[in-house]
Structure 1
Amino acid sequence: MLQAKNVNLYLLKDDRLLLENFSFSLGENDKAVIIGEEGNGKSTLLKYLYDEELVADYVQASGQVVKKGVFGYLPQFMSDEEQQMTINEYFMDVDIYENYDIVDSLNLDYDFLLSSQIIRTLSGGEKIKIQLLKLLCNRPDTLFFDEPSNDLDIDTLTFLEEFIKNSSIPILFISHDEVLISNTANVIIHIEQLIRKTKSAITISRLDYESYLKYRNLQFDKQTQVALKERSEYKKKRERLLQLYEKARHNTGWKNPDGIASSDGGAKKSMQALVSKGKRFEREKESFTDIPDREEGLFTRFDTEICIPPQKRILDFSLPELKVDGKLLSKNIELSVIGNKHICIIGKNGAGKSTLLKLIWESLKDRKDIIASYMPQDYRDIIDYSLTPTEFLQTCYDKQSYTLALTYMGTMKFTTDEMQHSIGELSGGQRAKIIFLNMVLQKANVLILDEPTRNFSPLSAPVIRQALIDFNGTIISISHDRKYLDEVADTIYVLSEDGLKLLQ
């Protein structure tokens, strides 16, 4: 059981209210998803509800959290200490043999689970799988998942969806995968930061995701229409009142009882009546329906002048063997790319997709006839996390481009304070925004993208996909985002032990 009562969370560094008066009960069979823009406090709320100590060094909290039973928590990132372990060491404190059903459902084998391979060398999806296995072996009563769908291959995503949907265990989770949210969540917790992140708003709706979006838009439109109509009618009444006021003030046609024209008498009474009516109007104004405010997804796009001729040769890549730490993953890899193709590579976790994409990037980055830009799986490969976003951009661009970058960061929902935080302090989604902005400013015409949408919120991801759909250059990418595969990719390859094969 989990119950939160009047929870308030303040960020100590910014002295900013992150969440206000949050009350919620997670009940049996609830599959509650927390959604919201990057940096709005989703992971902070999840951590606080699981264990207040996880956020005690950067958050001041008030309110009450009541918990009963065994709680399991899947964090967004594995700790450095865990990543230095071997897989065998990681499972030393649980009995994986008694949980063979979970092992099978995750498509794991015991040779892998008993191996001495360092966890740091695993793919992102493999890391998620072993964490999920260890978590489920403890038979928890309530589960907390912080972006469990990141880096999972499509087969494992399907398993995760079925697990969440059919589980009798209540689950509170964060995900950026719109399909997973649509297929599993029956409670939506929507965190919004309004008025340049000076006001927190939380909506809790016991609807599925698609129904919630429709309801949200309907209520927003309805309230907006009512509010605007009230203001329009008030404006008309006020203008008429001012006309009558001016007419009474200048009226010399009033006559006193002796028949002598006077601006006093009836005119005075008329003025008094108009003033009284004006006060009533002002009281009506105080009871107006509020014009609703809501946080929209980010806005961004690539330069429309970017273009690559359809027959231009972008890549002729050949690799006899693909190895990681001496292990042969694939062989006889061939990939040729021309023109403005949008290519995506899929495959099982651990197939070597990210390693392959990095090799492709190495082959393209110094080319003079194209401008190639890279979004890796681990953002540390291209960004110094000790820098602030503004410091990073200052080192990359001239004064004019830097000024433009600051403007773009505003459209990407960064506050002034967040621009001065170190990149390491920002959320994964905010870091992804910086990399995306960097690609836009570079005016790159070839994009090498490793899971480009995985850290963007369900509200921002459609904007990113649309920007990539409209991109007139070449895209070579990896993704397990099913909407990305349907909407952005025009050519899909599957990486297996036998190389790259075109998906028919």
Structure 2
Amino acid sequence: MLVLKNITIKTLKGRTLLNDCSFSLNKNDRLAIIGEEGNGKSTLCKLIAGVDDIHKDFIVSGDVICDHARIGYLPQHLSDKQYQQDVFSFLIQDPTDADYDILPQFEKQMSKFDMSFQPEDYNRSLSSFSGGEKIKIQMAKLLTEDPLVLVLDEPTNDLDLDALRWLEDFILKSSIPLIYVSHDSVLLAKTANRILHLEQTQRKQVPLWTLESIGFEEYLAKRTHRIQRQESLAKKQKSEMDAQMEKWRQIYQKVEHRQNTISRQDPHGGQLLKKKMKNVKAVKRRIDKVEKIKNPDPEEAVEIFFDQVESMPSSKVIFSDQLESLYIGKRLLSSNLHLQIVGPARIGIFGSNGCGKSTYLRYIDQKMSELNVSHYMMVQDYSEKLDVTKSAVDFLTKDKTKEEKSEIMTYLGSLKFTEQEMISPIESLSLGQRAKVILVDMVRSKVDCLILDEPTRNLSPLTMPVVESMFKQFHGAILAVSHDRHFLTHVCDKHYLFTQEGLRFIENFDIN
């Protein structure tokens, strides 16, 4: 159905994202592409789907053997123009030369997706639908084209929990082989039966790709075992070589001492020592030529943490508020919103798309500022927080001292930023890298409360354990809106459903 042969992808600046990658996709395959931000996952999806503009930004060699007309491609983002289109125009691009039979097929697919679609909905713009509804409309359109393969780039972005469960069910039941990119570790664990891992190693100088026909969790376990084994072998070899070098130094020093002290009346002895020294140096050259087992430096081995501060008293009330009505414009979103944040609370809020969760967090942010509550807010749209024309180092710099710059570069380096990425404009960085810049800013902010709006949405599932540990270690309180089920389960200890009637406490939160 789909074959890739010797695919190599390079940026116009010469950085290799993928080198000599080959694989085939077969019936019943659910191939998940994973890797850190900016490693070429979306670029590979575009190449497979036959998106023409990829060649404007990348140099590509190798062959993709498939019928591009039969590839159903869900892009990571639609254009602003597409979002403003009504559904009819989105489905029927050219009314003068269109197959109107796709409309009943589209409606049939929408009914299979348990989404009521009325005739008047054809006149609604795509932007007026929720995140989950937008994905269902795009998927229904793709399926009317009878694709042989589906390529889905970040389909979980902007989906609420109900939509995520729907997508998992769709992937598992699909008779069409799929390739998809996702940062949702729960979805990956439940659905993937093959893994393609794209990596950039050795300070992003050497690309690697790994293909395994196993599930996500099994792949992680196998990878962890491989890394631990390599670490063990590297440690053992270093210990053995250190012992060899110590023995060699002792012999070398002994021979050198005898050379320095031998009498000139013993030329034969001198010749023997000279020969001995030659042999000793030959042994050193052989030791130096032994191929060293490198300590693994996995791309996801990042480090970030808050300073160790005494945990906040569990009875301290950080913030308390009662909001009678929450509006956006003239639309009432919710009523009777009561929130109290006490001690080092970890509060997770979830709910359907468009119900007002982000609007509520902005209200909380404003109220905390008015009350001088020490806090930091991470918004969904990073451009609200970041000056993207500045470099990461310049954005994070406050005092402009050498010591501060060194500290900032250490933080960024521990998150696998290259020096070039540290000093390049933030607008040239991937969304995941921008999220990491905000995390560094957050860690250095020295506050007592974090307000987080979808904090994990652009971070690799391989990096998330470190980020989750960072949040767990935070001394103060966390108030987060998230649809990341792993984050909600492993970081948050209190869960609230955002409804029109206010925040409803969920006593036993279950990701299923």
Which bracket does the TM-score occupy, shorter chain normalised? Answer: 0.7 to 0.9
Separation in 2, partners of 1:281, 1:446: 55
Does the 8 A contact of 1:306 with 1:473 survive in 2? no
Seen in structure 2, the aligned counterparts of structure 1 residues 431 and 240 have a Cα distance that, compared at 3 Å, is: closer
Seen in structure 2, the aligned counterparts of structure 1 residues 462 and 113 have a Cα distance that, compared at 3 Å, is: farther
Paired AA for residue 269 in structure 2: S
1:377-402: CA deviation from partner (whole Å, max 9, x where unpaired): 222333344443334334x6654655
Separation in 2, partners of 1:207, 1:139: 28
2:329 pairs with 1:330: no
Paired AA for residue 340 in structure 1: P
Q: Which moved more, 1:477-486 or 1:302-311?
A: 302-311
Seen in structure 2, the aligned counterparts of structure 1 residues 227 and 163 have a Cα distance that, compared at 3 Å, is: same
Paired AA for residue 461 in structure 2: P
What TM-score results when the alignment is normalised by the length of structure 1?
0.87
Seen in structure 2, the aligned counterparts of structure 1 residues 397 and 190 have a Cα distance that, compared at 3 Å, is: farther
How much has 1:318 moved relative to structure 2? 0.8
SS at structure 2 position matched to 1:348: coil
1:305-363: CA deviation from partner (whole Å, max 9, x where unpaired): 3765533241303132x445654443443333333322221112232222222233233
Does the 8 A contact of 1:251 with 1:263 survive in 2? no
Separation in 2, partners of 1:105, 1:127: 15
Seen in structure 2, the aligned counterparts of structure 1 residues 152 and 64 have a Cα distance that, compared at 3 Å, is: same
Alignment partner, residue 96 of structure 2: none
Alignment partner, residue 319 of structure 2: 314
SS at structure 1 position matched to 2:302: coil
Q: Equivalent residues in 2 for 1:99-110 (5 A)?
A: 99-110=106-117
Seen in structure 2, the aligned counterparts of structure 1 residues 193 and 417 have a Cα distance that, compared at 3 Å, is: same
Alignment partner, residue 257 of structure 1: none
SS at structure 1 position matched to 2:187: helix
Alignment partner, residue 355 of structure 1: 359
Q: Which moved more, 1:305-314 or 1:52-61?
A: 305-314
Separation in 2, partners of 1:302, 1:113: 52
Paired AA for residue 461 in structure 1: M
2:232 pairs with 1:225: yes
Q: Equivalent residues in 2 for 1:88-167 (5 A)?
A: 88-92=88-92, 95-111=102-118, 114=121, 116-167=123-174
1:52-109: CA deviation from partner (whole Å, max 9, x where unpaired): 5332222222222222361111122221111222345434457453244532343422
Q: Equivalent residues in 2 for 1:324-473 (5 A)?
A: 324=328, 326-368=330-372, 370-394=373-397, 399=401, 401=404, 403-473=406-476
Alignment partner, residue 299 of structure 1: 303
User: May I ask how many residue pairs the two structures share in their alignment?
Assistant: 495
Paired AA for residue 77 in structure 1: H
Alignment partner, residue 53 of structure 1: 52
Paired AA for residue 90 in structure 1: F
SS at structure 2 position matched to 1:364: helix
2:193 pairs with 1:194: no
Q: RMSD over aligned Cα, in angstroms?
A: 3.1
Task: Give me the identity figure in percent.
Answer: 37
Separation in 1, partners of 2:160, 2:484: 9
Q: Which moved more, 1:213-222 or 1:51-60?
A: 51-60
Paired AA for residue 217 in structure 1: T
Alignment partner, residue 490 of structure 1: 493
2:12 pairs with 1:16: no
Structure 1 unaligned blocks of 5 or more: 255-259
Paired AA for residue 371 in structure 1: S
Does the 8 A contact of 1:8 with 1:62 survive in 2? yes
Does the 8 A contact of 2:311 with 2:475 survive in 1? yes
Does the 8 A contact of 1:314 with 1:339 survive in 2? no
Alignment partner, residue 68 of structure 1: 67
Alignment partner, residue 263 of structure 1: 269
Seen in structure 2, the aligned counterparts of structure 1 residues 409 and 120 have a Cα distance that, compared at 3 Å, is: farther
Paired AA for residue 448 in structure 2: N
Does the 8 A contact of 2:159 with 2:353 survive in 1? yes
1:378-434: CA deviation from partner (whole Å, max 9, x where unpaired): 22333344443334334x665465553332112122222223443333222112112
Separation in 2, partners of 1:248, 1:304: 53
Does the 8 A contact of 2:110 with 2:136 survive in 1? no
Paired AA for residue 24 in structure 2: S
Seen in structure 2, the aligned counterparts of structure 1 residues 218 and 63 have a Cα distance that, compared at 3 Å, is: same
2:507 pairs with 1:501: no
What TM-score results when the alignment is normalised by the length of structure 2?
0.86
How much has 1:246 moved relative to structure 2? 5.0
Does the 8 A contact of 2:323 with 2:335 survive in 1? no
SS at structure 2 position matched to 1:98: helix
SS at structure 2 position matched to 1:56: helix
Does the 8 A contact of 1:86 with 1:115 survive in 2? yes
SS at structure 2 position matched to 1:211: helix
Separation in 2, partners of 1:398, 1:281: 47
How much has 1:152 moved relative to structure 2? 1.2
Seen in structure 2, the aligned counterparts of structure 1 residues 90 and 280 have a Cα distance that, compared at 3 Å, is: closer
How much has 1:301 moved relative to structure 2? 1.9
Separation in 2, partners of 1:376, 1:503: 24
